[in-house]
């Protein structure tokens, strides 16, 4: 958007401009985020372990 263009004719509403969530909803959201984070950590750990084991398996016996 350059300086010569006029401002938009309608105002933009933020995506998070809704009613606040309940305590129960917030607790569920935090639990879900924690579970997703743990799953990502497990997958990353497994990927790194597989890479480390592949490096060790490359040496001739």
Number of domains in the chain: 1
Q: Is residue 6 part of a domain?
A: no
In a domain, 4, yes or no: no
Q: Is residue 52 part of a domain?
A: yes
Find the domain containing 53 and state its range. Answer: 23-61
Q: What is the pLDDT of residues 8-59, one digit of tens each?
A: 777 877 788 788 899 999 999 999 999 999 999 999 999 999 999 988 776 5
Q: Are 21 and 29 in contact (CB under 8 A)?
A: yes
Q: Give the predicted TM-score (pTM) of the model.
A: 0.59
Burial tier of 61 (Cβ tally within 10 Å: 0-12, 13-18, 19+): exposed
Checking if the pLDDT of 4 tops 80, the result is no
Comparing 3 with 35, the larger pLDDT belongs to: 35
22-54 residues labelled b (16+ CB within 10 A) or e (exposed)? eeeeeeeeeeeeeeeeeeeeeeeeeeeeeeeee
């Amino acid at each position: 958007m350059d300086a010569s263009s006029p401002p938009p004719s309608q105002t933009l509403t933020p995506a998070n401009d809704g009613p606040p969530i309940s305590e129960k909803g917030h607790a569920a959201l935090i639990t879900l985020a924690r579970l997703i984070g743990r799953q990502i950590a497990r997958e990353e750990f497994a990927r790194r372990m597989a890479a480390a084991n592949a490096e060790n398996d490359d040496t001739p016996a």
